[in-house]
Structures are given as C-alpha cells and as structure tokens.
Amino acid sequence: MKLLLDTHALLWWFTDDPRLSGQARDAIANEKNSIFASAASAWEIATKQRIGKLEQLPDVVERYHELVAADGFIHLPITAVHALRAGNYSMQHRDPFDRMPAAQSELEMLPFVTPDPAFSAFDCRTLW
C-alpha cells in the first residue's frame, strides 16, 4: 500500500507521539507500505518552526531530509498539476497546507494519513 502522511502524522511519527493512532502507526511501520512525505509538509514544518510552533523539535528543518530518509519515506514533490487541482477546489477551505496534500492524495491515489476531519470535504481517501 502507498500512503501520504499529513504533517501532523509525520511529526507525530518523528516524535513517537501517542496522538498518532494505532492504525496509522501500524500502517507507517509496515515495511511493505510505501510512505510519502509531501513537499507541502516540508513547507508547513518550516513555517511552523519560523513562527515558534515547533519548540519540541528545534532542529527539524535542519534534519528534515535526514529524518525522512532514516524512515525510508519518499519525498513527494509539488507539480503544476497538483497546484492547479489544489487551487481549483470549489470549497471555501482556504488553508494551502490542507489543499495541496488533498490534491496530491487525490491525483496520486494515495490514501491520506490524517486525524483532520476537514479532509472529508476533499476527494481523497483518509486513514486514521
């Protein structure tokens, strides 16, 4: 199975946070699964660190590539096709950090590992 991680799921995996659901943890840990980390998550993490919202991971931006590689995750770049879909969603949801991975999940047919119920409004499958 191929899965795309929400930024929260990615950070909670990195920190072994108990807020990561058992089902999500098992799916991420399963070596048969291919786990993707969106470039949008890297952008969101850098933004959160810059504004002081990631004090528990002070060096996550500097170590981002190392952390992703250590777990064997795959970087998912943002393409123009992703950007056009994210920008074209008709709902009023304004958060680009949600719109982009929703578009990637939909277009790449990757179930999205997320605790956020807002993603039910997008055309993507979720797992939590």
Q: How confident is the model at residue 12 (pLDDT cuts 50, 70, 90)?
A: very high
Tally the domains of the chain.
Answer: 1
Global pTM value: 0.93
Write down the residue that tokens 């004090």 correspond to.
55
39-50 and 7-15 helices cross at what angle (nearest 10)?
A: 70
- Kindly report the number of other CB atoms within 10 A of residue 97's CB atom: 17
**Residue 66 is part of a domain; what is its CATH number?**
3.40.50.1010
Position 81 pLDDT exceeds 70: yes
Where in the sequence is the domain holding 62, given as residue range(s)? Answer: 2-127
pLDDT in tens, 23-61: 999 999 999 999 999 999 999 999 999 999 998 888 999
User: What mean pLDDT is reported for the chain?
Assistant: 94
Q: What letter represents residue 81's amino acid?
A: V
> Rounded distance, CA 58 to CA 36, Å?
23
